[in-house]
Amino acid sequence: MDRDSSDEDDRRTLIHQNDTKNLPHQIPTIPRASTPPRSSFRIEEIESQIRRRFKLSLNKRYLFAIILPLLIIPIFFSADIRSLFSSNISSLKFNMVSDRIKESQLQALYLLNQQQSSLLSLWNHTFVNSNNNVTAVQFDDMKAVLLNQITLNKQIQQTLLSPHKTGDAVENVTVLDPNYAGYSFGRCRKVDQKFAERRTIEWKPKPNKFLFAICLSGQMSNHLICLEKHMFFAAVLNRALVIPSSKFDYQYNRVLDIHHINDCVGQKVVIPFEDFMEIKKNRAHIDRFICYFSSPQPCYVDEEHLKKLRSLGISMGKLQNAWKNEDTKKPSTKTIKDVEEKFASDDDVIAIGDVFFAGVETDWVTQPGGPIAHKCKTLIEPSKLILLTAQRFIQTFLGSDFIALHFRRHGFLKFCNVKNPSCFYPIPQAADCITRMVERANTPIIYLSTDAAESETGLLQSMVVVNGKTIPLVKRPPRSSAEKWDALLYRHGIEDDPQVEAMLDKTICAMASVFIGAPGSTFTEDILRLRRGWGTGSLCDEYLCQGEVPNFIAGEE
């Protein structure tokens, strides 16, 4: 209670003092108790003085209000008021321009560094090896690099000039015209396959004349190359080609479109084994079994496979060698005339042993589209299901502009090291070769077809870097119900077939902008065959680290 009353007294005192202070012209009250009584004359005198002071105060106020504008006017004309404000604005503008100049200088230094690196790279890869002849592709690379440096120089000039231009945005660099100075930036452009100049042979089988294909060397890629050569032999000999049974060879109808071949040629030139056996009422006889190679063993076929043929209802006579000393390790060059002389026959059914290594009319057989006259791009190509699945994968993950890399590693170390030079490259060296190709092709992503372990692909991924940016290496992901790009394979029950997966990889690689292959691999060779036939081959297509020797090679066992 005491504290409250004391606080109230203090508050009243403060209010009273504040009220007194806030009234400068308040007439003071005359104390009564402390002052003795005064006369009326004295009171009137005091009141008169107060009125005079009050009027004087009012007069001073009016006088001040009149004089103040008179003082401001000369000051305004004698001093530039605007300069007081514009100085701050000018300072702000100067700082902004200064910052833009610094930023432009840093950008220009970065671009100059890029230009220097590119020119040094061009020097190292071209003029250091001046003793070697420069290929057309290398010359195109030189032209393209130099033109790019001209564009980069223009960009540097615009960057340095940008602070002196009005507006906030820096003008975009105008890319040089593709035909600038008569040259082209398309250094990785498509190869003109000159299909109109193809040398072809008509395939017109005689009635009831068949050639039984034997392909046993290596894996599926070898068999497809062998099958294409058998097709050429069949066309030369005017016979229909019998596709082997899946019990004797691969299940070709899962990866190839047999009907596509017949449609392209315009008549029934290939026939599945089952249809052939139906014509022969399940008891077929090979009238002549001719071996193209006599060494290391006749027809490159072993007794186990001969037993498989017999178990399928095929009977045959003794194997015959077309030449006495034709070795798979050193095949000799043969012509179409040699084929006609050694394999022509009036017999209904003949078989020719494995011809994968055969050196018959190589330029003719390996030309774009193959050696046989037809209305399609290629005869041996992936089935429709695989082709559509590959297109869906590209649309989902890659887009139209990508490099495909066949990076074979499993079993390749020993295979390559018996060659001279070796074709097995350490990961850092391989990454450097791939990076150079990415720079040359100017592509943002790589499709990786590989059998390498994760430890190798992980290291490779970390080392493929261009301008500080890691270039993604994309592999086909495991099956996921959330993704529909591979639904066709699952719908037809062929999703787990390793040959289907291998053909899918080939198809994706064959549709890439640029392809980097594994030297010595028939998987790579079959991709190159498709790229030639489809017209997707690029001037930049090459083998990994082509022209280089591995910078380290392990010793022999």
d(CA 453, CA 443): 25
Please state whether the predicted TM-score (pTM) of the whole model is above 0.75: no
**Domain chopping of the chain, boundaries:** 210-366, 384-543
Region of residue 550 (left: phi > 0; alpha: psi -120 to 50; beta: else): beta
**Per the structure block, which two tokens stand in for 278?**
């139906």
Given this chain, do its domains 210-366 and 384-543 carry the same CATH topology?
Answer: yes
Closest CA to 434 of 458, 409, 411, 403: 403
Residue pointed to by tokens 């009907």: 259
The three-state DSSP-derived secondary structure of 196-261 is HHCCCECCCCCCCCEEEECCCCCCHHHHHHHHHHHHHHHHHHCCEEEECCCCCCCCHHHCECHHHH
Q: Is the peptide bond before 368 cis (omega within 30 degrees of 0)?
A: no
Average pLDDT per block of 10 residues along the chain, 557 residues long: 46 44 42 44 53 52 54 53 52 66 77 73 57 60 70 71 54 41 62 90 96 94 96 97 94 93 96 94 92 92 91 92 93 95 95 96 93 95 96 97 96 92 96 95 96 97 94 93 90 92 97 97 96 95 96 91
For the domain made up of 384-543, the CATH class stated in words is alpha beta
Q: Alpha helices, DSSP H only, in 238-323? A: 258-265, 273-279, 303-311
d(CA 214, CA 223): 9
What is the pLDDT at residue 9? 47
Q: Alpha helices, DSSP H only, in 361-464? A: 362-365, 384-393, 412-417, 427-441, 454-463
Close Cβ partners of 335 (under 8 Å, ≥ 6 residues apart): 360, 361
What is the pLDDT at residue 146? 72
CATH 2.60.40.10 fits 210-366, yes or no: no
Residue pointed to by tokens 């050569």: 229
d(CA 126, CA 134): 8
> Number of C-alpha atoms within 13 angstroms, CB side, residue 288?
18
Sort strands 403-407 and 349-352 into parallel, antiparallel or unpaired: unpaired
What is the pLDDT at residue 38? 44
The answer to whether 351 and 288 have CB atoms below 8 angstroms apart is yes
